[in-house]
Amino acid sequence: MKKNTYLHSFSEVKPKHHLPQEQLNAWTVKAHSRTEYLLTGEDLNQVELSRYCVGESQIKQRYFECHDVDENWKEHRVYKLTSDSPMGVDIQERNLIAQECSLGVLESLYTEKKRPGPDHLIHVSCTGYTSPSSPQIFFQAKTEAPSLTHFYHMGCYASLPAVRAAKAMIASEEEESVDIIHNETCSLHMDSSLHLPEQMVVQTLFADGHIAYRASHESSDRSFLVKMVHEKLIPDSSNDMTWIPGPYGMKMTLSRYVPLKIKSHLPEFIQQLCEKAEVDWQELKRKGIFAIHPGGPKIIESSQRTLDLRDDQLQYSRLILKERGNMSSATLPHIWNEILKSDALHGTKVLSLAFGPGLTMFGSIFEVVDE
């Protein structure tokens, strides 16, 4: 008989710095303007550029590891915007910095917070990867090290395939416990030479975030029972969202058609997800909580209208977007953590949705369980 899988023991590690969105937007525009001047000798229209930044009405603040948010350009480690490096350091150096950040998170979790080690660890990141990986480096000196799986470069939905893999390990009795750790350092990947409106949105939407949680066959205090994880690849959408390594960081493209294509396929996808989970959609729609990955404010709004949901059912998605921004794959786990900390009743169903390159739709249904 296959074992149930529960998610619990969520632990956030906040990045070192945070600033109000207005201040981060102003610095981003200045960085773009400086790079343009260094490359061409021309000045950018900073007021016009500011129009495309995600405003403080949607995101109050963002957390980040890169401390370069001032105009001491020569002293910066990443955004050393000088005549010798008008776009800052290259992607090799940025990945090494991401590795340092990840090692610090692992130290905080397993040494300082004394989190017990799992049998298996799944490391998830869309924004920084080296080989050997930071978990390999961290655990090689330990007496007892978990087996490792790496989920890299999968996009904002990566938490859901990671949960699906952990569920398979637990259900097959291959492992007793699996930790899933997300390290996202989006702040390392701004290319200040790209001034298109789409790029200004991307560069003022994403933030850094780190979080760990455990999958096991036994619940612990307050947990999620994992009922189903499901995915769908949307036809004719491969150019609508991309995440490609470039010389000065990861380059993301995000077309204006993404919300429309998600909207057209969402009802059928939800129906399939509920059928696989053996959950009544109408009851879930009335009583459930919805964890929608905030790929942007329009994604939440479009999903709400399409599924005819109440504001209170989406409050945790909007809260995380407002307080933390889009942390790529770490965003949904932060939303899940908020739900577990809330007064949601035992037995409450939680439907999660996330979207990423492909264009891929991922969904899951969890159930809140109280010991």
Domains with residue ranges and CATH for the chain:
222-370 (3.40.47.10)
pLDDT of residue 349: 98
What is the distance of C-alpha 167 from the center of its chain? Answer: 20
pLDDT of residue 83: 96
Q: How does pLDDT run across 312-327, given as a tens digit for each residue?
A: 999 999 999 999 999 9
pLDDT of residue 100: 96
> What are the residues whose beta carbons fall under 8 Å from the beta carbon of 280, sequence distance 6 or more?
274
Burial class, 316, CB count within 10 angstroms (exposed 0-12 / middle 13-18 / buried 19+)? buried
Average pLDDT of every residue of the chain: 93
pLDDT of residue 295: 82
pLDDT of residue 108: 96
Q: How does pLDDT run across 46-89, given as a tens digit for each residue?
A: 999 999 999 999 999 999 999 999 999 999 999 999 999 999 99
166 pLDDT above the threshold of 70 = yes
pLDDT of residue 280: 96
Which of 289, 346, 287 lies closest to 319 in space, CA to CA? 289
Rounded average pLDDT over 278-295:
95
Q: What percent of the chain has pLDDT over 70?
A: 99
Q: How does pLDDT run across 345-354, given as a tens digit for each residue?
A: 999 999 999 9
pTM of the model: 0.96
Rounded average pLDDT over 3-23:
96
pLDDT of residue 260: 84
Rounded average pLDDT over 265-281:
95
Burial class, 108, CB count within 10 angstroms (exposed 0-12 / middle 13-18 / buried 19+)? middle
Rounded average pLDDT over 19-32:
97
Rounded average pLDDT over 159-166:
97
Among 98-107, 146-155, 232-241, 286-295, which stretch is predicted with the lowest mean pLDDT? 232-241
236 pLDDT above the threshold of 80 = yes
106: confidence class by pLDDT, cuts 50, 70, 90? very high
Q: How far apart are CA 167 and CA 217, in angstroms?
A: 9
Q: What are the structure tokens assigned to 330, written together? A: 């770490």
1: confidence class by pLDDT, cuts 50, 70, 90? low
Q: How does pLDDT run across 118-144, given as a tens digit for each residue?
A: 999 999 999 998 999 999 999 998 888
